[in-house]
């Protein structure tokens, strides 16, 4: 009985739910040039995996992340600049795919809110210091 249950578990759909395509060659193999590999890895840490949305493609084992890592390494090896590759990804999936928000639109607000809050805080506290003096 226990054996049967085990077999049923092994045959459960999730085991097969990932499909059976090969992993792209460059997904897990480093580029021969260390400088290029460093640039590629650096970029991978700031690109979001489409499948497992909280992880970067460098951290994720999802198949989509493998494909994205291979794409990054291929383009780096072909001499493409990391920021151009980020742009390539954004052109397909939107700003969402990048962990480093662009300095425009809502991204601008994100970058400058801490500064604005600090200025507001100094302005609010200003009266206190004046009275103390």
Partner 1 sequence: MNRPWLLWIPLAVVAFIGGLAMYGLAVPKDEQVHSAMIAQNLPAFSLPAATAGVEGLASGDMADGKPRLLNIFASWCLPCKAEAPYLEALKKAGIEIDAIAIRDRPEDVAAFLNEFGNPFRRIGSDSEMAVQLKLGSSGVPETYVIGGDGTILYQHIGDIRAEHVPMLIEKVNAAK
Q: Residues in the site for partner 1, rule: CB under 8 A?
A: 13, 16-24, 50-51, 53, 63-64, 67-68, 70-71, 90-94, 96-97, 124, 127
DSSP line for the chain: -HHHHHHHHHTSHHHHTT--PPPPGGGSS--SSHHHHHHHHHHHTTBB-SSSTTSBTTT--SHHHHHHHHHHHHHHHTT--HHHHHHHHHHHH-GGGBSS--SSTHHHHHHHHHHHHHHHHHHHHHHHHHHH-
Minimum CB separation from partner 1 for residue 119, in Å?
A: 13
- Identify which of residues 31 and 48 has a Cβ nearer to partner 1 in the complex: 48
Residue 49 CB, shortest distance to partner 1, in Å, is: 10
**CB 34 → partner 1: shortest distance, Å?**
25
- Residue (43 or 70) nearer to partner 1, CB: 70
Residue among 4 and 124 whose Cβ is closer to partner 1 = 124
Judged by beta carbon, residue 17 or residue 35, the one nearer partner 1 is 17
What value does the CA radius of gyration of the chain take, rounded to a whole number of Å? 23
Least Å distance, CB 30 to partner 1, is 18
């Amino acid at each position: 009985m226990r054996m049967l249950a085990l077999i049923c578990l092994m045959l459960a759909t999730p085991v097969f739910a990932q499909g059976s395509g090969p992993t792209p060659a460059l997904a897990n193999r480093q580029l021969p040039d260390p400088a290029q590999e460093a640039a590629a890895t650096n970029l991978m840490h700031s690109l979001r995996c489409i499948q497992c949305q909280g992880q970067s493609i460098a951290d994720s084992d999802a198949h989509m992340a493998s494909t994205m890592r291979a794409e990054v390494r291929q383009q780096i090896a072909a001499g493409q600049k990391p920021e151009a590759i980020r742009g390539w990804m954004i052109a397909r999936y939107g700003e969402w795919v990048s962990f480093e928000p662009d300095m425009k639109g809502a991204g601008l607000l994100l970058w400058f809110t801490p500064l604005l809050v600090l200025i507001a805080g100094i302005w609010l506290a200003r009266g206190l210091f004046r009275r103390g003096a």
